[in-house]
Structure 1
Amino acid sequence: MDTLMTGDAAPGVLGAALDLPTNLVAHHLKVLEDAGLVVRTRSEGDRRRTYVHLEPEALEAIAAPAVLAAKRVVFV
């Protein structure tokens, strides 16, 4: 997920960055895709390569809620 935060990536690039075999990367990408966290798209240039990108709306749904900052805290 950290690698995809910077932008789209090909599955091979993700495997190289994580030092994982392609079959394991494919499995985990399928799990993330089924969960709606990532989306695969075809290359606009030659349509042979696929790229993976994060689905921002899905990430917002699972993100921890923001912590509200107090203007003043009193200890008793």
Structure 2
Amino acid sequence: VEIEYFEHSKEINKLKQLVVEKGNPELINDSPETAPSKRIIKLIPEYECNKVSVGASIVGLIGIDFLKGACKLFNDWITKL
């Protein structure tokens, strides 16, 4: 994320703080209006056009194992697949 949007470090830090406050990345997905992508777009509008490619880049950088460890529901879902 910071590689693609390094000029938005303040906004990225706000998103990181939100995850820390909620205690789990999955807990910020509490309504259609406040879904993670909506929160990112609100802070970084150009993300909207790049959501798919940036999402793939993020997973490539942090790895699927990190996501599975940080997100229990995601891990449970991917394990069932």
| TM-score class normalised by the smaller sequence | 0.3 to 0.5
Give the structure, 1 or 2, with the largest relative contact order (CA under 8 Å, sep 6 or more). Answer: 1
Instruction: State TM-score, norm by structure 1.
Output: 0.38
Instruction: State TM-score, norm by structure 2.
Output: 0.36
More helix by share: 2
